A and B are shown apart, each in its own frame.
Chain A
Amino acid sequence: MVLQGQSNSTESSDETIEIDPEILVGGVKVNYYFHCKTQLWLFSHYITYEQESDLVIAGKILEKESFKNIKTKNLLIDDKISLDFVKSSGGLVVVDIKKSSKFEEAHIYQVLYYLWYLKNIKKVLKVKGIVAYPSERKRTEVNLTAEKESEMLRILEEINKIISLPESPKPVYKPYCKSCAYYEFCWV
């Protein structure tokens, strides 16, 4: 397997901006922001359920099995974001492995956030992102464009706004609620 980073014409500038560290969150929260606001609030207040760790275990195994022949390096950065890196001929690539592409948007933004974090907080430029779906033999390349970069700042602000709400947002029924670890909590 070769992971290649292609250059993109709308690539963001090499300049990084000053960020208030208070607004930084874990990558999962960016994912949950797209998945469900109730889940984001509950998760951020440590109201989590064991089925979730069940899903995490399944994900870890999936990761291990898919990367048997490739050396990945897991890094926990600033105690905040946990990344899997792969070195390829094209440079450094951040890889996130997911089970199904049903929530591709959330996955893409999670990886976009990693790229944004590396660029703006760690001043690491020229990193590529990939979301891989081994069971579907699919991979999606993620590029941090200037447009996405400013969108990310807005997303982070909104995430922080939701987390600091005094009450959890009321659950809104979505077709994928049934496969969520919070299903029983939200709908009982």
Chain B
Amino acid sequence: MYVIIVYDVSVERVSKVCNFLRCFLAWVQNSVFEGELTDSQFLRVESGLKEIIDENVDSVRIYILRTSDAVKIKTIGVEKAQLGTII
């Protein structure tokens, strides 16, 4: 599946969430990550996030798409996303 994760979490947990998501997905811009996940990776991301955030205060939204083809993405302004596997 292809996921887009956006988060709005308390400042003391922002870098924790960011560092955690960096292990699985591509950083796209502040508080947004994107990428392909297998079912079990998705489970790990979900349960990892639950452990980091305070579910009473913080909010994470996950947009789940069947494949990357299912989403059309347009950037206006600076493209900050670090996608691609050829560096």
A67 to chain B: closest CB distance in Å?
13
Docked CA distance A64–B43 (Å):
11
CB of B56 closer than 8 Å to a CB of A: no
CA distance A61 to B51 in the complex (A): 12
A58, B43: Cβ atoms closer than 8 Å = yes
B37: shortest Cβ distance to chain A, in Å?
12
B24-40 interface bits toward A, Cβ cutoff 8 Å, 1 = contact, 0 = none: 00000000000000111
Chain B interface main SS type: helix
Contact A65 B47, beta carbon cutoff 8 Å? yes
Contact call A55/B40, Cβ cutoff below 8 A: yes
- A-B interface pairs (CB < 8 A), number: 16
Q: Least Cβ distance of A35 to chain B in Å?
A: 19
Say yes or no: is A54 at the interface (Cβ < 8 Å to chain B). Answer: yes
Q: Shortest Cβ distance from B14 into chain A, in angstroms?
A: 24
**Do A61 and B38 touch across chains, with their CB atoms under 8 A apart?**
no
Contacting residues, chain B, for A23 (C-beta < 8 A): none
Would B39 and A61 count as touching, CB distance under 8 A? no
Asked if B44 lies at the interface with its beta carbon under 8 angstroms from chain A, I say yes
Q: B47 and A57: CB pair below 8 A?
A: no
Contacts of B40 in A (CB 8 A): 54-55, 57-58, 61
Q: Note all chain A residues with C-beta closer than 8 A to B47.
A: 61, 64-65
The docked-state distance in angstroms from the alpha carbon of A58 to that of B45 is 11
Determine which residue in B39, B43, B44 has the highest number of CB atoms from chain A within 10 A of its CB, and name it: B43
Interface residues of B (CB under 8 A from A): 38-40, 43-44, 47
Residues of A with Cβ closer than 8 Å to B? Answer: 54-55, 57-58, 61-62, 64-65
Please name the 5 residue pairs, one residue from A and one from B, whose CB atoms are nearest each other, closest first: A58-B40, A54-B40, A61-B43, A61-B47, A57-B40
